């Protein structure tokens, strides 16, 4: 199943690679932004090095602008890729539905089939383009932030690292609750 899902990325390899490279740049910029701000607040401003404050401030503005452009690229091109993948999946599913015997349609309600086709395909396409980039951005940002914190104050970073499993457990619990609510909503939509 995973192999079949990954095959939908094949026609979009180049765009996917560019999307992931942009995601890496966005996450690294997110790590460097507080480093530069810390340098300005702890060293440059107290030592009255205002010319460097202006230079670093302009650098931060440039980083923010580039990050905004990269986020636009990720959102726009990622959605384009997701829509194209969704169109291919929709075409493949329709071809599969056409090959099914009539007895299948006698035992399955049309509303539920249509609901599954439309809603589930939308969810899958959102996962296809948001899943990898969000996972990648989150992982690089968390690991980068932990690396910077360990360089600055390893004691505080260790406390945060120990709290990370607790946060992960809470997130997984909430995910299960949201999945159950989503499943119930899809069943109601199919019935309607």
Contact between residue 19 and residue 133 where contact means Cβ atoms under 8 Å apart: yes
Place of tokens 């004691």: 155
At residue 120, the pLDDT reads 80
The mean pLDDT value of the chain amounts to 87
| Structure tokens belonging to residue 50 | 């205002």
Distances (CA, A) of 101 to 95, 98, 104, 116, 117: 13, 8, 6, 18, 18
- Average pLDDT over every residue of 63-74: 94
Do 160 and 146 contact (CB within 8 A), yes or no? yes
Residue 93 scores a pLDDT above 80: yes
For the cut 70, the answer to whether the pLDDT of residue 192 exceeds it is no
Q: Is the pLDDT of residue 24 over 70?
A: yes
Give mean pLDDT, residues 81-89: 88
Q: pTM, whole model, 2 decimals?
A: 0.74
- 168-190, pLDDT tens digit by residue? 899 999 999 998 888 787 777 76
pLDDT in tens, 147-156: 888 888 889 8
Q: How many helices (H) and strands (E) does the chain have?
A: 7, 0
CB-CB contact of 81 with 129 (8 Å): yes
Please give the pLDDT value at position 35.
86
- Cα separation of 98 and 76, whole Å? 33
Does the structure show a pLDDT above 70 at 85?
Answer: yes
In tens, the pLDDT along 122-164 reads 888 888 878 888 888 888 888 888 888 888 888 988 988 888 8
């Amino acid at each position: 199943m995973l192999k079949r899902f990954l095959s939908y990325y094949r026609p979009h390899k180049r765009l996917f690679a560019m999307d992931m490279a942009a995601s890496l740049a966005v996450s690294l910029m997110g790590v460097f932004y507080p480093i530069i701000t810390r340098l300005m607040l702890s060293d440059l401003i107290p030592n009255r090095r205002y010319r460097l404050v202006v230079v670093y401030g302009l650098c931060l503005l440039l980083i923010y602008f580039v990050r905004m452009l990269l986020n636009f690229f990720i959102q726009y091109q990622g959605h384009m890729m997701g829509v194209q993948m969704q169109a291919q999946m929709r075409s493949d599913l329709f071809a599969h539905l056409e090959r099914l015997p009539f007895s299948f349609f006698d035992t399955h309600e049309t509303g539920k089939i249509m609901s599954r086709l439309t809603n589930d395909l939308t969810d899958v396409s959102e996962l296809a383009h948001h899943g990898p980039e969000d996972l990648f951005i989150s992982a690089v940002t968390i690991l980068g932030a932990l690396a910077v914190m360990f360089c600055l104050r390893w004691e505080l970073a260790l406390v945060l690292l120990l709290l990370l499993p607790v946060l992960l457990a809470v997130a997984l619990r909430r995910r299960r609750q949201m999945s159950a609510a989503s499943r119930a909503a899809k069943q109601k939509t199919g019935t309607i």
